Amino acid sequence: MGRLAGLELHNFKSYRGTASVGFGDASFTSIIGPNGAGKSNMLDAISFVLGVQSAQLRSHQLRDLIYRGRVESTENDEESSGSDVLLQDPTSAYVCAFYEKDNGELMKLKRTINTNGSSDYSINGKIVTSLQYSIALKAENILIKAKNFLVFQGDIENVAAQSPKDLARMLETISGSAEYVAEYEKLKEEFERTRDLAAEVFSRKRNLNSELKQYKEQMREREIFEAKLNEKYTLIKKYHLYKIFHNQKRHFQLVAENRALQEQLQTAKTKLKELEADHGTQSAEASRASLDVKRLEASILETKTNLESIRRAMLPVNTSQKSLQTRIEVSEAKLADLNRDLENQLEMASILHSKLVSVEEQLEELDERVEELRKKSQLPEEGVLEYQQLRKQFLANSGSQLEEKLSILDADRDAFVSSVRNYQSQQENAESRIQNLEDSIRSTYQPRLNITLSKMNDMLGTKAEKIALKESLMKNNEDLALKEVELAAELRQTLSKLDDLSLEQKETKKQKRLRDNVNMLKSILKEGSIKGILHELVRSTQQKYDLALQTALGANLDAIVVESTEVAYKCVDLLKERRAGTATFIPVDSVVTDPVNLYYLRTLSENACPAIDVVTYDDVSIERAVMFALGDTLVVDSVDAARDLKWNHPQAINNKMVTLDGAVIHKLGLMTGGQEIQKTSASLMWTKQDLANLSSKKDELNAELSKLQADKSNTIDINSLTEELAALDENIQQCRAKISSLERDVDERRQEVEFHQSQLSTFKSLCEVKESQLAAIDAEILDAKSQITTIQASVYSEFCEKYNLQSINDYEMVSGPGMRARARERSELERAISSLRNQHKMHKESSEETMGRILRISKDLAQFNEDLLAVTCQWDDLDAEFLGMEEKLNDLNNEKKEAGLLYKALLKAIKVLEVEISDLKSDVRSMTKDLLIREESLLKVDSSRLNLLKNCKIENVDLPLENGFLDSISLDSSSDISAVAYLVYVDYSLLDLSLQDRHSVKAEAELKVKIEDVISDLQALTPNAKAMERLKEVDTKIKNFDREFTKARQDEKRATTRFNEVKQLRTELFMTAFSHISDRIDGVYKELTKSTSTVGGSAYLTLEDEDEPYAGGIRYHAMPPMKRFRDMDLLSGGEKTMAALALLFAVHSFHPSPFFVLDEIDAALDNSNVAKIASYMKRHSGVGLQFIVISLKSSLFENSDALVGIYREQRENSSKTVTLDLRNYQTASAEVTRKEDVTPAVPV
């Protein structure tokens, strides 16, 4: 293969003027340079000269690729004086590529941009067209559309991120299958059009063949139609004869029955009148007896009410009596206590008065003695001076020390005296407090406590009496309630028996009424439309299934089976009109039944079978009604077997299950207990006497229950007692609280007494100690006074004799220290007098208060005795009245009992009459209704005969007659129906004897079915009178249409052949490229990603559409080394770049161009991956492949064979190039000489 030897750029983008660059014989060339120097413009130049469109060269128009001039300074600064010159922009540009072929021939490829913005192509200087230019490049395996020689900056990311559809389109471009896309789409459209046309023509031919066959069938139907028409007329005549014959037979039967029924009705009415007269007489007697019983009951109730009122009135009287007795006892005890307190208070007042007199006398004596001494001890002035001199002498002779000692001892003695008095005062206070507390306990709190206790005891007694009365009433009610329960149970049993008899009678009446309604409906509606009651139409296959079948039918047991929904609506209207009750109808024609898998149900268990298997019936027309009533119900032998089948079967069984004893397990799992086997007809018999006896017993039980209700204590009385007990409980609770409070007060005061008694003992002991200490001090004082007296005698003896004094003390008592001692003694006496007066006054007031309380209590006691006497008299009166009422109540009860027996006997007789009258009335009503129904039935039968004859006349049925003519019957006649109906007598000789024997719904239905079948056959035939003519027209069309069908099939075949050829060619081209690339990509990826420690990753391609691979997409999967599989979107930037390069190198290997230009493919790679890319290019570059790479990473371009450096010449504002052959250097260092112009490696 050839190689790109060099380039020449003239005014192209950033290259001003002419710039040449040569690649020499290097197989791996790197273009390097700083950003903005023009590296990518070099790539644009290569792309431009090789025919790439301008839109892919980062420009909108070719003129944008021409170099744009810039302002440049002049070279001669002196001449221009620094002025700038604006250079004129060039108007054209070109790029020339020098391509060297394998044989060494040099091809000069040139593309020029003209002034008008167009471009010219030339090869070796010869102008050629773009197509010729492209063909010449294609001959060298340089594909312009596929760009198999070029990777732009940023294309790596686009390759890694492209969708499967985009990858498939790229592969179509590389493989060349894209050239057949337009032809493929055109032929595909033509193929589909011819195929649709052929299908349409074929469909029209098939329709014509179908019409031909249809007209042939219509010819055969015409012949069959005439035979069926004759058969229809014969069957209709036979059907009408059958219905008229049995209608006439029914007419004479109803006439005979009506006569017999009228005779029975007249006899029953006569007997009914006699019984009603007897019933009226006995009812009047019973009314009088009832009034007597009610009058006695009212009197008894009034007497009981009066008794209860008296009893309730006696309760408060008794309570008051006891309360007054208690109050009298408490008052007497309190009065005794107060008298004792009064005696104590008077005694204490007397003692205090004696003490007061004694102290007052001491004070008076003291005053008299001091006054006497004052008179005797008056001295002259010289005597006073002499005394003072002697006083000094006395003090000098140890008198001062002795007086000081005596003064100290007096002070101590005063202190002890004060303490003794204090203790004595506290003793007195304690004794007084103890006395007051004991008085208050005895006179105040204890009486209150006794009164409260008495009151509470009275209330407790009253409560006990009321409780006993309540319990007695409740016990009486309980006994009566127990008896009432027994009577109610007996009454329920009696009512149950009555209900059974009534139910049997009612069921009998209900069944009879239902049968009467069915007979009435049968007589009114046409024969055969009413099938009958369902339980009368079916029966069980074995007797053991009777109850199970009855239970399985359930609500549909008494349902009426009718022919159709229309008949059911007519029946409902008739029942409403006649007010004949309600009924359930099952229309056979419209009833919906769910499909049942009987085979599956039969295999569930040997103890179970479908309910439909245990029922049989004669009329097959009711099969749908039976299926509706029974459905998928299962009949099981026992309840245990049903439970096991329902809940232990491997499969879920949701069917209704009925056991032989009537138990039911519903679909939802609910269970219903078994039923008793229905009684036989003999056991259902009941007599009038049984009913009368049970009715009489019921009345007796009701009377006894009423009596029990009357004997029961009034609930109001019990509730009243309950309320009174609640009030008593509340009062007792209050009394107890008051008692607790009073006891607490008494205890507190007794504790206080004990405390004061302990204090009193303490004070006594302390007082004794102080008195002993006081005696010691008195001894010391006496000793000191003795010494003072001795000294005074030696000092004052002469003085005393001189002034006639017994001793110096007499003088000093009224003057000096003696006066102070007398004043202190007087003060103490006065204080004692004041205290005694206060205490005497207090005890006097207390005694007066006690006297007042004694008078009040004495007055209350007299009132209590008077009240007690009045209450006792009231109690005696109430007791006498109570005894009289009890005697009256006993008399009334005896009278009531006799009247009740008479009333019961009358009621029993009346009940018997009422039962007989009710039975006769029921019979009369039943016979009357039956007679009306039979007359209506007769009228209906005659109307039916008349309608049948009218229908024969209208429908022109040729009915054979013995007498009369059908024309004699008017269609709108309103005269006597029976007379008109028998104007004509029909000849029944044509009717088979088997059909005359008895009327059978089945036989009538068979005739009707035959008629309907013939009519249905006639309706289905619908012969076409113009069938022969249409048959000839269709035959002619088929012959003409064969030619059109043949032409359509030939056109379809030709279009299919041409389309398949192009499809196969496109597929082969695409798959050739895909197979090659798919085989190569894994190896390329492994080579790009392997290292010394890993074997490299894996990559593969998959097709989304195997049939038309170009129409689907291609999925590219790459798995880097040592990593699990992930989608391409989840790979890192470097991993995506390596995967994209592997894909580009694999694609390039399919149609390898002689050179491969790559622009900054290593932008997203780290140094390790860049080294792997460089190593790959180094290994694969050579004679067959030339790599030209634009790169900024040294780890890539340092491994290349040659370098092309691009830099920016600022003075010229233009890009310049330099080259360097790295194969001549063994080390990484080299010096590059910058040159103005660099000669290419090959001649240009």
**For position 974, what pLDDT does the model report?**
55
Query: Is 646 a residue whose pLDDT tops 90?
Result: no
Query: Which of 921, 914, 933, 941 has its CA nearest to residue 513?
Result: 933
Query: Is 90 a residue whose pLDDT tops 80?
Result: yes
Query: Is 682 a residue whose pLDDT tops 60?
Result: no
Read off the pLDDT band of 78 (50, 70, 90): very low
Residues 1134/1166, Cβ–Cβ less than 8 Å = yes
Query: Is 323 a residue whose pLDDT tops 80?
Result: no
Number of H helices and number of E strands within the chain?
26, 28
Helix (H), strand (E) at residue 641 = helix 639-647
Could you tell me the two tokens for 246? Answer: 């049995």
User: What number of residues does the chain have?
Assistant: 1244
**For position 1227, what pLDDT does the model report?**
47
Task: Give the single-character DSSP code of 672.
Answer: E
**For position 468, what pLDDT does the model report?**
83
Three-state SS sequence of 961-973: EEECCHHHCCCCC
Q: What is the mean pLDDT of the segment spanning 959-980?
A: 70
Residues 261/931, Cβ–Cβ less than 8 Å = yes
Q: What is the mean pLDDT of the segment spanning 570-578?
A: 83
Q: What is the mean pLDDT of the segment spanning 954-962?
A: 79
- 643 belongs to a structural domain: no
Residues 494/544, Cβ–Cβ less than 8 Å = no
Beta-bridge partner residues of 986: 961
Could you tell me the two tokens for 1207? Answer: 């830099």
- 448 belongs to a structural domain: no
Task: Point out the least confidently predicted range of 401-405, 677-681, 884-888.
Answer: 677-681
CA distances from 226 to 229, 238, 959 (A): 5, 19, 22
d(CA 1035, CA 1120): 74
**Of residues 263 and 1040, more confidently modeled:** 263
- 1173 belongs to a structural domain: yes
Highest mean pLDDT among 77-81, 856-860, 974-978: 856-860
- With 0-12 / 13-18 / 19 or more C-beta atoms within 10 angstroms meaning exposed / middle / buried, residue 26 is buried
- pLDDT tens for each residue of 455-502: 788 788 888 877 887 788 788 777 777 877 787 787 777 777 767 666
Q: What is the mean pLDDT of the segment spanning 181-194?
A: 82
d(CA 371, CA 365): 10
Query: Is 777 a residue whose pLDDT tops 60?
Result: yes
Read off the pLDDT band of 505 (50, 70, 90): low
**For position 1159, what pLDDT does the model report?**
84
d(CA 193, CA 201): 12
CATH number for the domain that contains residue 63? 3.40.50.300
Average pLDDT, the chain: 79
For residue 37, which phi and psi values (nearest 5 degrees)?
Answer: -80, -25
β-pairing, 657-659 with 664-665? antiparallel
Q: Which long-range contacts (CB under 8 A, 24 or more apart) does 729-732 make?
A: 729/463, 731/459, 732/456, 732/459, 732/460, 732/463
Read off the pLDDT band of 377 (50, 70, 90): low
Query: Is 684 a residue whose pLDDT tops 60?
Result: no
Read off the pLDDT band of 97 (50, 70, 90): very high
Three-state SS sequence of 455-469: HHHHHHHHHHHHHHH
d(CA 592, CA 581): 26
Q: What is the mean pLDDT of the segment spanning 661-668?
A: 86
Highest mean pLDDT among 93-102, 780-789, 1175-1184: 93-102
- 649 belongs to a structural domain: no
Q: What percent of the chain stands above pLDDT 70? A: 87
Residue-wise over 854-872: b if at least 16 C-beta within 10 A, else e? beebeeebeebeebbeebe
For residue 571, which phi and psi values (nearest 5 degrees)?
Answer: -65, -45
Highest mean pLDDT among 123-127, 207-211, 895-899: 123-127
- pLDDT tens for each residue of 131-180: 888 888 888 878 877 777 778 776 777 776 678 888 888 888 877 777 78
d(CA 831, CA 359): 10
The parent domain of residue 95 ranges over: 1-149+1153-1244
**For position 714, what pLDDT does the model report?**
58
- With 0-12 / 13-18 / 19 or more C-beta atoms within 10 angstroms meaning exposed / middle / buried, residue 721 is buried
**Of residues 1231 and 1003, more confidently modeled:** 1003
Q: Is 11 left (phi over 0), alpha (psi -120 to 50) or beta?
A: left
Query: Is 591 a residue whose pLDDT tops 80?
Result: yes
- 1220 belongs to a structural domain: yes
Which residues, in sequence order, are CB contacts of 1219 under 8 Å at separation 6+?
21, 22, 24, 1202, 1203, 1204, 1205, 1238, 1241
**Of residues 1092 and 905, more confidently modeled:** 905
d(CA 153, CA 39): 11
Task: Point out the least confidently predicted range of 20-24, 775-779, 780-784, 789-793.
Answer: 789-793
Q: Domain count of the chain?
A: 1
Its pTM stands at 0.38
Could you tell me the two tokens for 849? Answer: 């208060």
d(CA 1069, CA 467): 119
CA distances from 132 to 60, 824, 826 (A): 24, 164, 167
**For position 1206, what pLDDT does the model report?**
93
Beta-bridge partner residues of 1217: 1206
Query: Is 817 a residue whose pLDDT tops 60?
Result: no
Helix (H), strand (E) at residue 472 = helix 446-524
- With 0-12 / 13-18 / 19 or more C-beta atoms within 10 angstroms meaning exposed / middle / buried, residue 1124 is exposed
Read off the pLDDT band of 110 (50, 70, 90): very high
Residue-wise over 274-303: b if at least 16 C-beta within 10 A, else e? ebeeebeeeeeebeebeebbeebbebbeeb
Query: Is 1205 a residue whose pLDDT tops 90?
Result: yes
Query: Is 680 a residue whose pLDDT tops 50?
Result: no
Which residues, in sequence order, are CB contacts of 842 under 8 Å at separation 6+?
none
Task: Point out the least confidently predicted range of 275-284, 511-520, 1224-1233.
Answer: 1224-1233
Q: What is the mean pLDDT of the segment spanning 217-245?
A: 78
**For position 659, what pLDDT does the model report?**
92
Q: Which residue has the tokens 């989840």?
A: 1130
Can you say how many angstroms the Cα of residue 520 is from the centroid of all Cα atoms in its chain?
56
Query: Is 393 a residue whose pLDDT tops 80?
Result: no
Task: Give the single-character DSSP code of 443.
Answer: I
Helix (H), strand (E) at residue 1097 = none
Query: Is 688 a residue whose pLDDT tops 90?
Result: no
Query: Is 658 a residue whose pLDDT tops 90?
Result: yes
- 291 belongs to a structural domain: no
Residue 116 identity: N
Could you tell me the two tokens for 150? Answer: 């070029």
**For position 7, what pLDDT does the model report?**
92
- pLDDT tens for each residue of 691-712: 666 776 777 777 777 766 666 5
Read off the pLDDT band of 74 (50, 70, 90): very low
d(CA 1168, CA 343): 133
Helices (H), 525-545: 534-537
d(CA 1024, CA 7): 93
Task: Give the single-character DSSP code of 1183.
Answer: S
Task: Give the single-character DSSP code of 358.
Answer: H
Which residues, in sequence order, are CB contacts of 36 under 8 Å at separation 6+?
1208
β-pairing, 585-587 with 560-562? parallel
> Which runs of E-coded beta strand occur in 1029-1113?
1098-1103
Three-state SS for 1189? Answer: strand
**For position 170, what pLDDT does the model report?**
81
Q: CA-based Rg of the chain, rounded to a whole angstrom?
A: 73
Query: Is 271 a residue whose pLDDT tops 80?
Result: yes
Task: Give the single-character DSSP code of 125.
Answer: T
Read off the pLDDT band of 615 (50, 70, 90): very high
Residue 1203 identity: L
CA distances from 278 to 284, 631, 695 (A): 10, 57, 19
d(CA 52, CA 152): 12
- 1050 belongs to a structural domain: no
Residues 919/913, Cβ–Cβ less than 8 Å = no
Can you say how many angstroms the Cα of residue 979 is from the centroid of all Cα atoms in its chain?
76
- 1244 belongs to a structural domain: yes
Which residues, in sequence order, are CB contacts of 628 under 8 Å at separation 6+?
556, 586, 591, 592, 593
Read off the pLDDT band of 79 (50, 70, 90): very low
Beta-bridge partner residues of 6: 22, 98
Q: Which residue has the tokens 């139907």?
A: 221
- Angle CA 497–927–693, to nearest 5: 25
Residue-wise over 501-513: b if at least 16 C-beta within 10 A, else e? beeeeeeeeeeeb
Count of CB atoms situated within 10 Å of the CB of 848: 11
- With 0-12 / 13-18 / 19 or more C-beta atoms within 10 angstroms meaning exposed / middle / buried, residue 77 is exposed
Residue 1137 identity: T
d(CA 1201, CA 865): 151
Which residues, in sequence order, are CB contacts of 1109 under 8 Å at separation 6+?
168, 1067, 1070, 1071, 1074, 1103
Read off the pLDDT band of 977 (50, 70, 90): low
Read off the pLDDT band of 635 (50, 70, 90): very high
Query: Which of 1207, 1216, 1212 has its CA nearest to residue 75?
Result: 1212
**Of residues 315 and 1188, more confidently modeled:** 1188
Helix (H), strand (E) at residue 4 = strand 3-12
**Of residues 29 and 339, more confidently modeled:** 29
